[in-house]
Amino acid sequence: MTAIFPPIEHESQIWRVDGIIYKSNCARLALEILTRITMTEDAEESLYALEGQFPMPFLSALANENMAKNAGISGLRRETFDLALQVRTQFLKMRLLYDKGVTDLDPNLLLQDVFYNANLDSQAPASPTPTLRGFSLPSFQDVDGNLPEQYTKDVNDRIREITACFQADGQVDFDALDERYSWEDFIFSVAKWLRSRNEELNSHLDQQPRVE
């Protein structure tokens, strides 16, 4: 972010544009998700892009609240991880619904495609237990894109809850899945996270010198 939008010297003070870019991205997320009462085709397109990018368009790093020295650094570590997991969950729901009428659909294969990493050349030979995918931020993935150990329990718990909605005949209990992870609850979580992130960004922008 700083390489693309370098700091600007203004009356011996540094003025940074990255906070405005992050706020713009937050506003776009609000427009694309919060205005969709139901899962529309537009929402599906937004969710597809969001699953592969979140949280990078909205911050560059995570730190303790008192260590957030610029707009790109957020203190919302737990909140950001929780929302990233919810984004991935909604993405899987979308994939399952899209393939609902497919003959011989195996929901476990879709789940594996969404939640687990494919074998990479830089990894050791394939193990019986596939590695969990990380999220698009250094704090949430290693160099191979794998999830750090500290987050694996949360993701494995989520996977167990999802697979509890898979039936023995390969069908999915979509009513149970939607009850656990409704679109309405997801919208609320996005709104709550955006409010907290915007509060951080506003705090940084308020500390910048005025540009007149």
Residue 25: burial class (beta carbons within 10 Å; 0-12, 13-18, 19+): middle
pLDDT at 4: 45
Q: Can you give the pLDDT at residue 118?
A: 78
Quick: pLDDT tens for 71-116.
999 999 999 999 999 999 999 999 999 888 777 789 999 999 999 9
Token code pair at residue 25: 């991205």
pLDDT bracket for residue 7 (50, 70, 90): low
Q: Give pLDDT, residue 122.
A: 46
Give the E-state strand segments of 7-62 in sequence order.
8-10, 13-15, 61-62
How much is the pLDDT for 25?
Answer: 98
Q: pLDDT tens digits for 114-136?
A: 999 975 544 555 556 789 999 99
For the chain, the domains span 8-206
**Predicted confidence (pLDDT) at residue 62 exceeds the cutoff of 90:** yes
- Tell me the C-alpha distance between 19 and 23, whole Å: 6
Question: Which pair of structure tokens corresponds to residue 135?
Answer: 């999220």
Residues ≥6 apart with Cβ < 8 Å to 74: 58, 59, 61, 62, 63, 68, 80, 197, 200
3 state SS for 100-111: CCCCCCCHHHHH
3-state secondary structure of 9: strand
pTM: 0.87
